[in-house]
Chains A and B, each alone.
Chain A
Amino acid sequence: VQRSPLIPEMATQEVQLNETLAHLKTESETLKSKLEEERAKLHDVELHQVAEKVEGLGQFVMKTRRTLKGHGNKVLCMDWCKDKRRIVSSSQDGKVIVWDAFTTNKEHAVTMPCTWVMACAYAPSGCAVACGGLDNKCSVYPLSLDKNENLAAKKKSVAMHTNYLSACSFTNSDMQILTSSGDGTCALWDVESGQLLQSFHGHAADVLCLDLAPSETGNTFVSGGCDKKANVWDMRSGQCIQSFETHESDINSVRYYPSGDAFASGSDDATCRLYDLRADREVAIYSKESIIFGVSSVDFSLSGRLLFGGYNDYTINVWDVLKGTRVSILFGHENRVSTLRVSPDGTAFSTGSWDHTLRVCDDCYFFIGIKYNQNLCTFNFTPCAPDKPPLSLTATHLPKYSNLKKHIYRST
């Protein structure tokens, strides 16, 4: 066997390969700039300019309706059941709990064999939950009506990655699960057999989040990663169809706009961004100089007009998607908000936090104005639903913004 690379034929081969490599590098640079050019050509206006004539929303306040207590450590992930009332949540302490959000009762609890259960999802039928984390797996637990039955006994290991599981989601049936992992890949699995149906390669670092396109718009999903990229994938072929790289740090959360034509992302760079798939570019940034902490999770209201973002500074910022302005800050959690989901019927949203609790917020009050009476200051809100009473909060002196948040917190 020839060992020396200095034989003439091999040297020639090497030179040829290097030339081809250089050729390809040039072509890739040319294509990248062509891509930028094409995208820029169609950038004729900003989203908020198009939305100038749209009626503004004003400021409003939401109330925490339920606080779910029971986790022994940081809540990392949560998902709603399609019945709009049950929630599954997972925690750093290895516990996965299914709650009835109306009554705050815990219906099921499972202890995973690992800590840091970073991902959990409810099956569309409501009959099972999937979860995983540092065990590098995604496991499915069928939910039993029998409270005494040990759920762990029926556990099914479905997905196997070579690094932590960061997110999972059932597709539109209980039969398939989509996962993303710290190993840089996403994968589609058959639940019954555990077989890998498709894998998705393209991220250059950990994939942190994924979201499936609304079922009407076809078989695609979007993923976000530590490589600052958001990729849109064709589920059948495994191909990356579109890629967006405008964030300046890890993308922690991605969520499709309800029409399926766009998606939002939240990142450690303290911004949320909106990417339109048909224009193939970023069309809005939701940020403020005063917001310096990363976004952990994002979700849209039913019409797509509101974008909720959970932040590492313990707050939830609510953005007017069209105008690009913030319409509300919500307080209440005592540590960073790690997960946020709007309920399936859009009537409420739930947040999970490192403060070990989950909160369910609904109702909406619009801020009308402030009335001063000697040294009393009253903030007045009118409710959205006509059958709810108006809300009024009074302080004994003109509160600073930070004091206002304590008042809102106490009213719940």
Chain B
Amino acid sequence: MSSSVLLSQHPAPNPTHTTRRLYIFFSHSKNTAKMSGSNLVAMKKVVQQLRFEASINRVKVSQAAADLQQFCMQNALQDPLLTGVSSSTNPFRPQKVCSFL
């Protein structure tokens, strides 16, 4: 019997489950070749993911930072928790002090 046929005679475990249940299953096969096989599949996935991540387009931090800053500035006046920072209402203008002890 060739080893490739042997591999195909060990189907993946298929636990019963409802369609709503998430599960993580592990291969319990004692076939060492099969175990390397599932490691291989996992490793291929990792490499595939890394290839994908390496291929995305990136911009320079200076550009990205400038955009973040611009968004802040454009929306500053509409930010109620921030209102008062704009130069028209200078918070450091001397105010009447009403002190309560």
Contact = CB atoms under 8 A, between A and B. Distances in A.
A101 B14 CA distance: 50
A14 interface: yes
B83 A384 contact: yes
Given A7-B3, A305-B82, A280 B65 contact: no
Interface in A133-161: 160-161
B80 A302 contact: yes
A397 interface: no
A243 interface: yes
Contacts of B58: 38-39, 42, 278-280
A194 B19 CA distance: 10
A304 interface: yes
Contacts of B4: 13
B79 A54 contact: no
A47 B85 contact: no
A10 B33 contact: yes
A280 B56 contact: yes
A58 interface: yes
Q: In the complex, which of the residues B51, B78, B84 has the most CB atoms of chain A within 10 Å of its own CB atom?
A: B84
Interface stretch (A23-31, A287-295, A352-360): A23-31
30 contacts: A5-B32, A10-B6, A13-B3, A17-B40, A18-B36, A20-B40, A24-B47, A31-B51, A35-B50, A43-B61, A47-B61, A55-B85, A57-B85, A162-B22, A162-B23, A196-B19, A262-B64, A278-B67, A279-B64, A305-B72, A305-B76, A306-B82, A347-B80, A349-B81, A362-B81, A364-B83, A366-B84, A368-B94, A376-B101, A382-B91
Contact of B65 (A9, A45, A241): A45
Given A241-B52, A303-B76, 18 more contacts: A12-B3, A27-B47, A28-B46, A42-B58, A45-B65, A47-B65, A47-B68, A50-B69, A55-B85, A195-B19, A242-B56, A261-B67, A276-B61, A279-B58, A279-B63, A303-B82, A322-B68, A322-B69
B47 to A, nearest CB: 5
Contacts of B65: 45-47, 50-51, 276, 279, 283
Contacts of B43: 21, 24-25, 28
Contact of B75 (A43, A44, A51, A303): A303
B99 interface: yes
B97 A380 contact: yes
A392 B100 contact: yes
A111 interface: no
Interface residues of A, number: 96
B62 interface: yes
Contact of A347 (B6, B33, B81, B87): B81
A11 B70 CA distance: 62
Interface of B: 1-4, 6-7, 9, 18-24, 31-33, 36-37, 39-40, 43-44, 46-47, 49-54, 56, 58-69, 71-76, 78-85, 87, 89, 91-101
A196 B69 contact: no
Given A50-B65, A185-B22, A194-B20, A382 B80 contact: no
B44 A187 contact: no
Contacts of A304: 68, 71-72, 75
A258 B76 CA distance: 12
B30 to A, nearest CB: 9
A45 B68 CA distance: 14
Contacts of A45: 61-62, 65
A32 interface: yes
